[in-house]
Amino acid sequence: MSGTSSLTLDALDLSALLCSRVCHDVISPIGAIVNGLEVLEDDNDPSMREFALELIRKSARTASARVQFARIAFGAAGSAGASIDLADAEKVSRAMFADEKTQIAWSAPQALFPKNKVKLLLNLVVIASGAIPRGGLIDVAVTGGGEAPRFVLRAKGSHARIPPHVEALIAGTPEGGTVDAHGILPFYAGLVSRAAAMDVRFTIEGDEVTVTATPTEAGTGLPGAPASSLEADRPSDSAPPDTQLA
């Protein structure tokens, strides 16, 4: 899906919606930590205290995994340059789903890839998980070099389906011409895909949804596509931007 988005969000709205998404993802485990601490304070039963400690441990791991994933997928995380190690992307993806009903299989070269391409890959992992609401397997395959990669994500599980409205959101043409916190992730993935000069496609066959991202035709030569130097100029979290998201 290429081209210019018909819906444009200003920086404040985009930031607010992404923050809402991140907060939504961490509220549940943080709330569970608070509940566990309250049990430790009020209950002297050894079995209840052990239950509370285990709840705290598990919830802390979940919250940490989700924040670390978001730091790369939505933020300016990474090296001081414009590249991210695919091994880091694999690590945060596996941690993100470690306690979930969805499993991750990962096949990718050991290499640094341009930041926006890695961010796109991580956002597609989350979108692929939405294609199998009852859980299953997401097989992630990365081929090609960093400048012209190919991502193929196969989500297989019971009741697999292409998530509602996701194709229009990635294309930047959401139904009704608006986007909320629920739809911001695929909308943002579309913004990143265009910045990275990559097309995203969805297909479904039986209980398997395939998400494919490939370089746009003619790459950076397309009208409106970013110049190759733009990604190198994007800041990392070691040098936070004044006004724009990385």
pLDDT digits (tens, 9 = 90+) for 88-98: 999 999 999 98
Q: How many C-beta atoms lie closer than 10 Å to residue 85's C-beta?
A: 15
pLDDT bin (cut points 50, 70, 90) of residue 229 is very low
Residue, of 1 and 133, whose pLDDT is higher: 133
> What is the model's pTM?
0.83
How far apart CA 32 and CA 159 sit, in angstroms, is: 29
- Lowest mean pLDDT: which of 34-38, 120-124, 190-194, 238-242? 238-242
Alpha carbon separation from 206 to 78, 140, 162, 163 (Å, rounded): 37, 19, 11, 15
Cβ neighbors of 106 (< 8 A, separation 6 or more) are: 90, 93, 94, 140
The pLDDT confidence band at residue 246, using thresholds 50, 70 and 90, is very low
Strand partners, 131: none
As a whole number, mean pLDDT of residues 141-146 equals: 93
- Between the alpha carbon of residue 152 and those of residues 48, 107, 202, the distances in Å are 45, 10, 10
Residue in the structure block whose two tokens are 């819906």: 7
Say whether pLDDT at 125 is over 70.
Answer: yes
CA dist list (Å): 159 to 35, 176, 208:
34, 27, 9
**179 near 186, Cβ under 8 Å?**
no
Gap between the Cα atoms of 136 and 157, Å rounded: 4
DSSP-assigned letters across all residues of 49-101: HHHHHHHHHHHHHHHHHHHHHHHHHTS--S-SSSEEEHHHHHHHHHHHTTTSS
Per-residue pLDDT at 81: 60
